[in-house]
Chains A and B, each alone.
Chain A
Amino acid sequence: MSPRRKLVEVRNLKLYFPIYGGLLRRQVGSVKAVDDVSFDIYEGETLGIVGESGCGKSTCGRAVLRLYDATAGSITIDGENIADLPPETLRKKRPSMQMVFQDPQASLNPRMTVAGIIGEPLDEHTDWDRKKKLERIYELMDAVGLNRDFAHRYPHAFSGGQRQRIGIARALALNPRFIVCDEPIAALDVSIQAQVVNLLEELQDQFGLTYMFISHDLSMVRHIADRVAVMYLGKIVELAPVVDLYDHPAHPYTEALLSAVPEPDPSAERRKDRIVLTGDVPSPANPPQGCNFCTRCPRVMDICRQIEPETREILPGHFVACHLHNQDKTTGRTGGAQAEHTQNQIQQGEDA
């Protein structure tokens, strides 16, 4: 298979929220929501981002679309660094990158009709007449499986799954190439989750979409993603093709996460040795010295408390930031060069 093009390249993305305190409201520190994150997303693939709540995955997704201004780093989408685009150019660029939000209730304006909501991107970026817009709205409603009769109803009249379809239709309106799905299924019932995920997959096949799929549902990510990045406290600790990651997790945190996935078979569930992490996630305003995970890691070493581990490629396409994998395999490859090595691994991820 020919190597595919990188659609999104994120390099050393940092997003710090300042904390003001004291009498003069001076900046006394910052919450490192996203701290030095680098990854690539290839055209047509799905990159899953997993991690526990508060680890910065949603913030990361929003920063990638520049809904938040990044503190540092570059985000290149389709050859253009959007981190420092002026507002008007950014506005022109918006159609190619869209977002599906977590809470379908909150992401739809209660005072707009479905047609108004789906048509909003068209109002902003096209000069079509009403008839043509309505035609396109109907087309999108068909694509996401909504009855055309619903076009002039308000969001409160819909169920959660239908609302999420409206949100997806809105994201599709301008034929984007890249969609950030920010926990699109977290607020839905399990039966509806499958529907929405299948819909997302169908749309990906149909329109050749590229997804960044943020979720805390590991089994759902396994189902939809080609490659998975695990985040902990604002950093990516492991990034690997989905089969590699689930079968041979390299980072202790990933192991712990995977061991927490419920097993449908009760006897297997009982036999499984769960890795239970002790303690809480440290505050992102005051991360520990050395490795972020050193306070809870079951296999912590002295070096972890002093030196921050670099991201290394332990297998082609499998990146880990952990000292456990540094001692024997110090081949000198570092995070900056990671992108080139992933290409041959993608196919493996896709077959999963």
Chain B
Amino acid sequence: MTDTVSFRAPRNQWWDVWDQFKTHKGALVGSVVFIAILLFCFVGPTLWPYDATYIDIRSRNQGFSLAHPFGTDQLGRDIFARMMKGGQVSLAVGVVAMVLSVFIGTAIGVMAGYFRRIDGLLMRMTDLFLALPLLPLLLVMSMLFRQPLSSAFGVETGMFLLIVVAIAITSWMRTARVVRGDVLALKEREYVLAGRSIGTPPRRLILRHILPNVLSPVMVSATLMLATAIITESALSFLGMGFPPDFPTWGRLVADGVDYLQQYPSRSMLPGVFISLVVLSVNYIGDGLRDALDPRIRGR
């Protein structure tokens, strides 16, 4: 210990986080891939000459070429453009559904773990949701609410809301259980007791001491959730209960390609590969972030 009375200006902690994140190779590659896919989906359409819904029946079923890098489908639509457009929807659905689901799951998990009084109630509710058969439930929901939502918000926004909410409320249970388990253990830790002895009210105890320490499981379930959300949306679209048929999403592109699997296998494989890439890259990013946000691992 030196006795210098030097005040080294505290470095912004996010720089430490970034330094640690950089050391995680997988996370770096994951971020590059994810950002590339984001650019492809959201910036690509403004540069690409073909529209996703433009039908050119004379040039249908073409293979890979410079004009159509991924070929064209049975109606002559450019698959490259459809991939970009479909990616926008799939990513948006995936991210929003993930955020919503993780939010609900974490909130319920923390409440159940921290407040013993409502634990039983919330956990039985979680069990109830776990016991529901999900796909039939989703189908019933989209049957029931498709019309009213479409007329209220327009077809696309209406369907988007419906799908996002449907995915979120059928997938938060795992997060809730994991978080509850962690909170039960954390709230008996001495630093939580120390917080109480200082007079910190429960609300801030949760925000300051509990939530940052359940970050790891939440992060893991969030990255997994993104994958589940994209795949569930694909499944819904595949079953014809998602977005309207001419509206491309990655899931629908896979479904549309299935009919032509023998002749043009790339048609369903390409969107499949994109879904996998997104899921994989997000998993790696999540892994890197979790390490970077943990001060015990950081700086080793």
Q: Is the CB of A107 within 8 A of B191?
A: yes
Q: Is the CB of A65 within 8 A of B197?
A: yes
Q: Given that A110-B295, A156-B295 are contacting pairs, would A94 and B198 also be in contact in the complex, using a CB cutoff of 8 Å? A: yes
Task: Report A-chain residues with C-beta under 8 Å of the C-beta of B190.
Answer: 101-103, 106-107
Docked Cα-Cα span, A103 to B194, in Å, equals 11
Q: Given that A149-B6, A149-B8, A156-B296 are contacting pairs, would A124 and B191 also be in contact in the complex, using a CB cutoff of 8 Å? A: no
Q: Is the CB of B7 within 8 A of A152?
A: no
Q: Is the CB of A109 within 8 A of B191?
A: yes
A86 to chain B, nearest CB (A): 13
Binds A, one of B29-37, B40-48, B94-102, B208-216: B208-216
The chain B residue with its CB closest to the CB of A120 is B198
Give chain B's interface residue range (CB within 8 Å of chain A): 20 to 34
A70 to chain B, nearest CB (A): 15
Ordered by A's residue number, 15 sampled pairs between the chains whose C-beta atoms are within 8 Å are A67-B196, A92-B199, A94-B197, A99-B194, A107-B194, A109-B208, A110-B296, A111-B212, A111-B295, A112-B208, A120-B208, A124-B200, A152-B10, A154-B295, A156-B295
The chain B residue with its CB closest to the CB of A142 is B5
Task: Report A-chain residues with C-beta under 8 Å of the C-beta of B296.
Answer: 110, 154, 156
The chain B residue with its CB closest to the CB of A104 is B190
Task: Report A-chain residues with C-beta under 8 Å of the C-beta of B208.
Answer: 109, 112, 120
- What is the interface of chain B, defined by CB distance below 8 A to chain A? 1-8, 10-11, 13, 189-191, 193-201, 204, 208-209, 212-213, 215, 294-296, 298
B206 to chain A, nearest CB (A): 13
B282 to chain A, nearest CB (A): 23
Report whether over half of chain B's contact residues are helix, strand or loop; otherwise say mixed. Answer: loop
Q: Is the CB of B194 within 8 A of A101?
A: yes
Q: How many residues of chain A have a CB within 8 Å of chain B? A: 36
B77 to chain A, nearest CB (A): 50
A327 to chain B, nearest CB (A): 44
Docked Cα-Cα span, A151 to B6, in Å, equals 12
Task: Report B-chain residues with C-beta under 8 Å of the C-beta of A115.
Answer: 10
Task: Encode contact with B along A69-98: 1 for CB under 8 Å, 0 otherwise.
Answer: 000000000000000000000111011001
B69 to chain A, nearest CB (A): 46
Q: Is the CB of A148 within 8 A of B191?
A: no
Chain A residues numbered 133-178 whose CB sits less than 8 Å from any CB in chain B: 147-149, 151-152, 154, 156, 167, 170, 174
Given contacts A102-B190, A111-B295, A120-B198, list 20 more A-B pairs with CB under 8 A.
A65-B197, A67-B197, A94-B199, A99-B194, A99-B197, A101-B190, A107-B190, A107-B191, A107-B193, A107-B194, A110-B295, A111-B212, A112-B208, A121-B198, A124-B199, A147-B2, A148-B6, A149-B6, A152-B13, A167-B194
Task: Report B-chain residues with C-beta under 8 Å of the C-beta of A124.
Answer: 198-200, 204
B275 to chain A, nearest CB (A): 34
Q: Is the CB of A148 within 8 A of B198?
A: no
Task: Report B-chain residues with C-beta under 8 Å of the C-beta of A154.
Answer: 295-296, 298
Does A125 count as interface, using CB distance less than 8 angstroms? yes
A190 to chain B, nearest CB (A): 20
Q: Given that A107-B190, A107-B191, A109-B191 are contacting pairs, would A148 and B197 also be in contact in the complex, using a CB cutoff of 8 Å? A: no
B247 to chain A, nearest CB (A): 43
Docked Cα-Cα span, A90 to B74, in Å, equals 73
Task: Report A-chain residues with C-beta under 8 Å of the C-beta of B5.
Answer: 148
A121 to chain B, nearest CB (A): 5
Task: Report A-chain residues with C-beta under 8 Å of the C-beta of B6.
Answer: 148-149
Does A108 count as interface, using CB distance less than 8 angstroms? yes
Task: Report B-chain residues with C-beta under 8 Å of the C-beta of A90.
Answer: 199
Q: Is the CB of A91 within 8 A of B199?
A: yes
Docked Cα-Cα span, A91 to B13, in Å, equals 31
Task: Report A-chain residues with C-beta under 8 Å of the C-beta of B193.
Answer: 62, 67, 101, 107
Q: Is the CB of A110 within 8 A of B213?
A: yes
Task: Report A-chain residues with C-beta under 8 Å of the C-beta of B195.
Answer: 120
The 4 A-B residue pairs whose C-beta atoms are closest, nearest first, are A94-B199, A154-B295, A107-B190, A152-B10
Looking at the complex, which one of B1, B2, B196, B199 makes contact with A125 (CB distance below 8 Å)? B199
B213 to chain A, nearest CB (A): 6
Task: Report B-chain residues with C-beta under 8 Å of the C-beta of A95.
Answer: 199
The chain A residue with its CB closest to the CB of B189 is A106
Docked Cα-Cα span, A147 to B4, in Å, equals 8
Task: Report A-chain residues with C-beta under 8 Å of the C-beta of B294.
Answer: 111
Task: Report A-chain residues with C-beta under 8 Å of the C-beta of B201.
Answer: 91
B189 to chain A, nearest CB (A): 6
Looking at the complex, which one of A108, A147, A152 makes contact with B1 (CB distance below 8 Å)? A147
Task: Report B-chain residues with C-beta under 8 Å of the C-beta of A111.
Answer: 212-213, 215, 294-295
The chain A residue with its CB closest to the CB of B200 is A124
Docked Cα-Cα span, A149 to B6, in Å, equals 7
Q: Is the CB of B10 within 8 A of A106?
A: no
Q: Is the CB of A109 within 8 A of B199?
A: no
The chain B residue with its CB closest to the CB of A138 is B7
